[in-house]
């Protein structure tokens, strides 16, 4: 004998507005977090890339000065520091412009092609003016551009903007300081004032302190990296 079984079906409840809002909020927060992480990673990658480029440009500035010294050694008609320092006894604007120097490529028409491949030109401005675009003429001296290579225009190299050169604008600035290193008889001494010479104190000049500064813009602020090395006349 079969007994009748009764079944009870409860009412199905639909999702309320509050539940939908909470679910959407969780999804949006998750998406915002993911996008923030993506943008953060992109910014970090850009910063690291610019830092690497700036580090290499700073090192290049020092290597250029070393290359000029080595080229002078090969030329018996030149002193080891030829074209790297102003002549002693210079006065007025000549000495004022030599506290800082910049580097340009030998493609510049007014610079003859030399064994080093570079010409060194006094900047005559302060570093603060060099990296400030408000000083348009001054900042253009220090600013680096990408210049196509003569033998293969598909490749480009960093160079200081020069007359008659068509270069791609970049975000980097560079300036190089050179200070004399003297032998006092008991120790080495670096003359950090560009108006001083070792001979002024009866010292012997044995080398030079080279400081290469590179700056670039990062989110509206200027970042600076600096490389320093002492290069000697050891030959």
Tens digit of each residue's pLDDT (9 = 90 or more) over 158-168: 877 555 456 78
Quick one: pLDDT band at residue 214, thresholds 50, 70, 90? very high
The three-point CA angle 34-35-37 to 5° equals 65
Name the β-bridge partners of 230: 209
**Mean pLDDT, rounded, for 138-153:** 74
Percentage of residues in the chain having pLDDT higher than 70: 70
pLDDT at 162: 52
User: Residue ranges per domain, the chain?
Assistant: 39-232
pLDDT at 53: 93
pLDDT at 96: 35
Euclidean distance between the first and the last CA atom of the chain, given in angstroms as a whole number = 119
Indicate whether 137 pLDDT > 70. no
Determine which helix (DSSP H) or strand (DSSP E) holds 45, and give its type and residue range.
helix 17-74
Q: What is the pLDDT of residues 72-122, one digit of tens each?
A: 888 888 888 887 765 544 433 333 333 456 655 444 433 444 444 566 666
Name the β-bridge partners of 188: 183
pTM summary value: 0.73
Q: What is the mean pLDDT of the chain?
A: 75
Q: Could you tell me if 176 and 101 are in contact, meaning their C-beta atoms sit under 8 angstroms apart?
A: yes
**Mean pLDDT, rounded, for 135-151:** 70
pLDDT at 64: 84
3-state secondary structure (DSSP) of residue 99:
coil
**Main-chain phi, psi angles of 176, to 5 degrees:** -125, 135
């Amino acid at each position: 004998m079969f007994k009748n079984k009764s079944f009870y079906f409860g009412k199905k409840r639909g999702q309320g507005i509050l539940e939908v809002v909470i679910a959407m909020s969780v999804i949006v927060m998750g998406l915002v977090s993911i996008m923030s992480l993506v943008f953060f990673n992109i910014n970090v990658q850009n910063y690291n890339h610019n830092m690497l480029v700036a580090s290499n440009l700073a090192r290049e500035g020092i290597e250029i000065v070393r290359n000029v010294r080595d080229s002078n050694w090969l030329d018996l008609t030149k002193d080891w520091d030829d074209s790297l320092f102003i002549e002693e006894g210079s006065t007025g604007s000549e000495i004022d412009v030599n506290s800082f120097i910049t580097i340009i490529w030998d493609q510049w028409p007014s610079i003859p092609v030399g064994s080093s491949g570079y010409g060194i030109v006094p900047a005559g401005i302060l570093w603060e003016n060099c990296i400030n675009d408000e000083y348009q003429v001054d900042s253009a001296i220090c600013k680096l551009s990408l210049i196509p290579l003569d033998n293969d225009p598909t490749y480009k190299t960093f160079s200081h903007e020069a007359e008659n050169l068509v270069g791609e604008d970049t975000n980097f600035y560079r300036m190089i300081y050179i200070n004399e290193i003297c032998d006092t008889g008991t120790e080495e001494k670096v003359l950090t004032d560009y108006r001083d010479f070792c001979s002024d104190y009866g010292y012997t000049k044995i080398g030079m302190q080279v400081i290469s500064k590179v700056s670039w813009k990062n989110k509206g602020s200027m970042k600076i990296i600096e490389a320093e090395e002492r290069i000697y006349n050891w030959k």
